[in-house]
A and B are shown apart, each in its own frame.
Chain A
Amino acid sequence: MQRFLVRRVLQAGVVLAGLSVVLFSLLVYTPGDPVELLVQSEPDVRPEDVAALRKYYGLDDPVYIRYFKWLRTLAGGDLGYSRTYRVPVIQIMGQRLGNTLLLVGTSFLIAFAVGVAVGIYSAMRQYSAADYGFTIVSFIGLAMPNFWQGIVMILLFAVWIPLFPAGGMITPGVARGWPLIVDRLWHLVLPASVLATSGMAAWTRYMRSSMLEVIRQDYVRTARAKGLAERRVINRHALRNALLPIITLIALSIPAVLNGAVLTETVFSWPGMGLLLFQAILGHDFNVAMAVLLFLAVATVLFNLMADIAYSFVDPRIRYG
């Protein structure tokens, strides 16, 4: 067990190191280094000053030296400076992260609760009309482009039946306290349900197949043979075991949700990291764009690591070499 943990953590370290190389090479290819940008905004700068600045910032150093310098500043929490916002990138990220977490967290809760419930129901009635119906619905949920679903939801629930706002996160001038919370939730309904759709479909399918696998096990037959009520067999014996693999999938699913949030936030002008990324790319603000990519990639590595470790704890039958 301990050996597995050490090996798995080391492996994550290797992946992180590799990631830093990949991301740095992308950064090197982004057009416009800081001094070039300065020259663009101040055309009167003397050439010798430009050369001095380039030397000062080490822009003409060999690539590997720049890489290690970049790593060092990164370790100090310095992600660079945003061209558009004229503040350190980390400051903007902080504000946006909270909004993204609110959206992603809400849609995750909806998707997980609905998906698991429907998955259990489908598995209990395998091959019934309801099971077929839910299977088709989950196929539909997985095939729908989420930005288009967003547009359709806006068309339905903001244009034709004006129940919800077509975008944004807040109504200007709303009072603090309860009105603010209600207003926030009201803005959250459409984007959260769009982002929840594919997740719901995925959880339904995972839960259904996990439940079907468990129901065929001997211990479930034993429980039934003991004469336990079906409800108790399902809740106590089958469901608990079927949920094991699902729990580790939670950590694995988070990167996918963050990924989907980019398009959803853009459609609904939800001021989170996804919208920040999109605007940064349009405005050629590559420090910001790379910082978002870096954040998401590191989060993915850490969540994968957590999933593996959690799985080895939850299910002691798993033994890695």
Chain B
Amino acid sequence: MALVDLADRRAAAAAIFAGQSYWQVAWHRFRRHRLALVGGSAALLLSAVAILAPLIAPYDPESISLTTRWKAPTVTHPFGTDELGRDVLARAMYAGRISLAVGYVSAIGVAASGAVAGVVAGYYGGLIDSGIMRLVDILLSLPTIPLYLIMSALIPGGGVDRIILIFMIFGWTGVSRLVRGQVLSLKEQDYVEAARALGASQGRIMLRHLLPNAMAPIIVATTLAVGGFILAESGLSYLGLGIQPPTPSWGNMLQRAQEYVWNAAWLAVFPGVLIFVTVLSFNFLGDGLRDALDPRLKI
């Protein structure tokens, strides 16, 4: 173990001496993180399947067939069929499109708005800072699941857009806190002073000097947020307040699984395993990215 560790450190040091950039060194560290590689590959594979679903799905996910209802998994239907005779594997592939899209779009949206709020709060300080941070305190004290449930009852519709909207309204707070913390220390650095002395505008300082240097926590938090939002979406859809059928999502495929547990257990197993594996992959990936980009980060 110690030998590997030493070799690892030497290689990293050599990389720096070779004139490699921060990102190249981080990539080097990331490649040695086994769990992160596994997580990253799994996330890529799941995303690829979701994107290619229309091409590779064995059946039409919405075609109902009364002769093939309640079929346990076999070679022709690897995940079995549901109460309407629909192929569960095909539905799970299409559901992946929805669940992953909700995860990616919400996470990226939340990261962007949170980063802007965090940089502005940290850079300007004073009243702007306390205003934004008190708003963050208020939103963070609302318990997420009850809040999301009430919001979905208030906002009509059952599509992807509603869920993403709800996640975006309340989800930016975590990233903004992280970024603000980074910016508070970054803005005291000499290079920021230098940029100011050279006459750089405030917008330029925030965009070109502060934001890029706060990228590490943003990337890590975004990766972890993809999993977090997929988990939240699945919970909402399971309760019937998220994505509405017939559009499949992993969560709403489990909506009636509990009733069917007594005689069609496969319906309860596969969508859950997919949620679980997806979230696990993004968590491994996020963990590896943290270790590669900035091991001191506490996220």
- Say yes or no for B30: interface residue by CB 8 A criterion: no
Top 10 closest pairs, chain A to chain B, by CB: A148-B272, A143-B280, A18-B138, A143-B279, A296-B143, A300-B141, A259-B143, A262-B145, A15-B137, A281-B153
C-alpha gap A304/B139 in the complex (Å): 13
Q: Knowing A154-B261, A267-B258, say if A278 contacts B149 (CB, 8 Å).
A: yes
C-alpha gap A258/B258 in the complex (Å): 22
Interface window among B44-52, B188-196, B230-238: B230-238
Q: Count B interface residues, CB 8 Å.
A: 45
Closest A residue to B268 by beta carbon equals A151
- Say yes or no for A127: interface residue by CB 8 A criterion: yes
| Main secondary structure on A side of the interface with B | helix
Using a CB-CB cutoff of 8 Å, which residues 281-309 of chain A contact chain B? 281-282, 284, 286, 289-290, 292-293, 296-297, 300-301, 304
Q: Are A281 and B265 in contact (CB under 8 A)?
A: no
Q: Are A293 and B141 in contact (CB under 8 A)?
A: no
- Say yes or no for A19: interface residue by CB 8 A criterion: yes
- Say yes or no for A29: interface residue by CB 8 A criterion: yes
Using a CB-CB cutoff of 8 Å, which residues 123-158 of chain A contact chain B? 127, 136, 139-140, 142-145, 147-148, 151-152, 154-155
- C-beta contact mask, B105-146 vs A, less than 8 Å → 1, else 0? 000000000000000000000000000001101110111111
Partner of A304, one of B35, B141, B257: B141
Using a CB-CB cutoff of 8 Å, which residues 263-292 of chain B contact chain A? 265, 268-269, 271-272, 275-276, 279-280, 283-284, 287
CB A158 to nearest CB in B, in angstroms, measures 8
- Say yes or no for A40: interface residue by CB 8 A criterion: no
**Besides A151-B257, A284-B153, A289-B146, 17 other A-B contacts (C-beta < 8 A):** A15-B141, A18-B135, A142-B283, A143-B231, A143-B280, A145-B251, A145-B275, A148-B268, A151-B254, A151-B268, A152-B269, A155-B269, A255-B141, A296-B142, A296-B143, A300-B141, A300-B143
Closest A residue to B241 by beta carbon equals A281
Closest B residue to A142 by beta carbon equals B283
Partner of B265, one of A11, A144, A155, A260: A155
- Say yes or no for B147: interface residue by CB 8 A criterion: yes
Using a CB-CB cutoff of 8 Å, which residues 2-16 of chain B contact chain A? none
CB B240 to nearest CB in A, in angstroms, measures 8
Q: Knowing A159-B265, A289-B153, say if A147 contacts B235 (CB, 8 Å).
A: yes
- Say yes or no for A30: interface residue by CB 8 A criterion: yes
C-alpha gap A321/B41 in the complex (Å): 46
Partner of B134, one of A14, A139, A258: A14
Which residues from B are CB-within-8-Å of A142?
283
- Say yes or no for B262: interface residue by CB 8 A criterion: yes
- Say yes or no for A107: interface residue by CB 8 A criterion: no
- Say yes or no for A189: interface residue by CB 8 A criterion: no
Closest B residue to A127 by beta carbon equals B1
Using a CB-CB cutoff of 8 Å, which residues 195-219 of chain B contact chain A? none
CB A277 to nearest CB in B, in angstroms, measures 6
Q: Are B276 and A297 in contact (CB under 8 A)?
A: no
CB A24 to nearest CB in B, in angstroms, measures 13
Q: Are B272 and A151 in contact (CB under 8 A)?
A: yes
Which residues from B are CB-within-8-Å of A30?
154
Partner of B276, one of A15, A19, A144, A284: A144
- Say yes or no for A318: interface residue by CB 8 A criterion: no
C-alpha gap A266/B240 in the complex (Å): 12
CB A122 to nearest CB in B, in angstroms, measures 15
- Say yes or no for A22: interface residue by CB 8 A criterion: yes
Which residues from B are CB-within-8-Å of A136?
35
Which residues from A are CB-within-8-Å of B150?
26, 281, 286, 289-290, 293
Partner of B234, one of A139, A145, A292, A296: A145
Partner of B141, one of A19, A143, A258, A284: A19
Using a CB-CB cutoff of 8 Å, which residues 11-70 of chain A contact chain B? 11, 14-15, 18-19, 22, 26, 29-31
CB B130 to nearest CB in A, in angstroms, measures 9
Q: Are A143 and B135 in contact (CB under 8 A)?
A: no
- Say yes or no for B227: interface residue by CB 8 A criterion: yes
Which residues from A are CB-within-8-Å of B142?
19, 22, 293, 296-297, 300
C-alpha gap A301/B150 in the complex (Å): 20
CB B283 to nearest CB in A, in angstroms, measures 6
Q: Knowing A148-B275, A159-B265, A263-B239, say if A22 contacts B149 (CB, 8 Å).
A: no
User: Could you pull out 7 A-B pairs where Cβ atoms are within 8 angstroms?
Assistant: A143-B283, A151-B257, A155-B261, A262-B149, A263-B235, A296-B143, A297-B142
C-alpha gap A274/B262 in the complex (Å): 25
Partner of B146, one of A18, A154, A293: A293
Partner of A145, one of B138, B147, B231, B287: B231
Closest A residue to B280 by beta carbon equals A143
C-alpha gap A286/B1 in the complex (Å): 58
Q: Are A143 and B276 in contact (CB under 8 A)?
A: yes
C-alpha gap A24/B258 in the complex (Å): 36
Closest B residue to A30 by beta carbon equals B154
Q: Are B261 and A159 in contact (CB under 8 A)?
A: yes
Which residues from B are CB-within-8-Å of A11?
134, 137
Q: Knowing A148-B276, A284-B153, say if A262 contacts B141 (CB, 8 Å).
A: no
- C-beta contact mask, A72-112 vs B, less than 8 Å → 1, else 0? 00000000000000000000000000000000000000000
Which residues from A are CB-within-8-Å of B227?
143
C-alpha gap A278/B145 in the complex (Å): 10
C-alpha gap A14/B136 in the complex (Å): 12
C-alpha gap A281/B261 in the complex (Å): 25
